C-alpha cells in the first residue's frame, strides 16, 4: 500500500488483541520515526517512555478512566515534555551542533543565546503550552510509522496527568506526561474498524491564495 492507503487504513483503535505483541524490530522502527520528528529549533524538549510492564499499566489504567487500551495494547507510549533546565537542554543541543556539523562555534553559541532568550521571555504557562505542543509533533510520527507497518495505535488525551506524573515519578525527572498512545494490533471485535472514515473534503479543508 502507498502512504494514502495506509492512512485510510488506520483509525484510533479502541479494542486491542491482547494475544498479539509488537516485535522488537517494529518498536525500533517506531522509535526511530519519533526520534526524527520535527521540533522547534530541533531541541526535542521531551522524553518518550515506553511501557510494556503489566503491573504499571494496571495502575495507569486507573488514572485513565479505566480505558482498556492502556492494558490491552502491546505497548504504551507516554510523551513527556520537560518542565525545567531549559538552558541546559539548549547548551546540550548547541554542543551537538558544534561537534557534529563542524560549524563555527561562536555562531552556534550565539544561536544558543538567542534560543535561550526566546524561551526565557515566555511566561511559565507559555513554556508549558509550547513544550507540550512539541510532543504532539512527535506523536504524529508514531502514528504514521505505525500505519506504515500496519500496526494499530490509539492517541489518547483522556488521562490524569498528575496521577501519571506521580505513578511514574516524572516530576523528579523534570517531566510532565503530555499525551499518550496505545500501540498494538486491533481486535476483530472492535467495531470502530468497520466504520467509514469521516473527514472533510479537500474542497472544504483547503484554500489557495
Q: What's the first-to-final CA gap in the chain, in angstroms? A: 33
The Cα 146–Cα 151 span in angstroms is 5
151 phi and psi, to 5 degrees? -110, 140
Q: What is the pLDDT of residue 106?
A: 84
- Buried residues in 141-173 as b, exposed as e (16+ CB within 10 A): bbbbbbbbbebbbbbbeebebeebbeebebeee
Q: What is the mean pLDDT of each run of 10 residues along the chain (209 residues)?
A: 93 98 98 98 97 98 98 98 97 90 80 97 97 98 98 98 98 98 98 96 97
With CA atoms as reference, report the closest residue to 137 among 117, 114, 155. 155
- The residue extents of the domains of the chain are 3-84+124-205
Q: What is the pLDDT of residue 198?
A: 96
Q: Which CATH number fits domain 3-84+124-205: 1.10.10.10, 3.40.47.10, 2.60.120.1440, 3.40.109.10?
A: 3.40.109.10
The Cα 22–Cα 103 span in angstroms is 40
CA–CA–CA angle 169, 89, 105 (5° rounding): 160
13 phi and psi, to 5 degrees? -70, 130
Q: What is the pLDDT of residue 1?
A: 63
- Buried residues in 31-52 as b, exposed as e (16+ CB within 10 A): eebbeebeeebebbbbebbebe
pTM attached to this predicted model: 0.96
Amino acid at each position: 500500500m502507498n502512504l494514502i492507503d495506509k492512512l485510510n487504513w488506520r483509525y484510533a483503535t479502541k479494542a486491542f488483541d491482547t494475544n498479539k505483541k509488537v516485535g522488537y524490530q517494529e518498536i525500533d522502527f517506531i522509535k526511530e520515526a519519533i526520534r526524527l520528528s520535527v521540533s522547534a529549533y530541533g531541541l526535542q524538549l521531551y522524553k518518550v517512555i515506553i511501557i510494556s510492564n503489566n503491573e504499571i499499566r494496571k495502575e495507569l489504567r486507573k488514572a485513565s478512566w479505566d480505558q482498556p487500551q492502556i492494558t490491552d495494547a502491546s505497548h504504551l507510549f507516554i510523551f513527556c515534555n520537560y518542565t525545567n533546565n531549559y538552558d541546559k537542554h539548549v547548551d546540550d543541543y548547541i554542543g551537538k551542533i558544534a561537534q557534529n556539523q563542524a560549524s563555527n562555534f561562536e555562531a552556534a553559541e550565539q544561536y544558543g543565546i538567542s534560543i535561550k532568550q526566546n524561551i526565557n521571555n515566555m511566561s511559565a504557562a507559555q513554556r508549558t503550552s509550547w513544550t507540550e505542543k512539541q510532543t504532539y509533533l512527535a506523536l504524529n510520527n508514531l502514528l504514521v510509522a505505525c500505519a506504515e507497518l500496519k500496526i494499530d495505535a490509539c492517541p489518547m488525551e483522556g488521562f490524569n496527568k498528575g496521577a501519571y506524573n506521580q505513578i511514574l515519578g516524572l516530576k523528579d525527572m523534570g517531566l510532565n506526561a503530555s499525551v499518550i498512545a496505545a500501540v498494538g494490533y486491533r481486535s476483530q471485535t472492535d467495531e470502530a474498524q468497520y466504520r467509514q472514515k469521516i473527514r472533510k473534503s479537500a474542497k472544504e479543508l483547503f484554500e489557495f491564495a
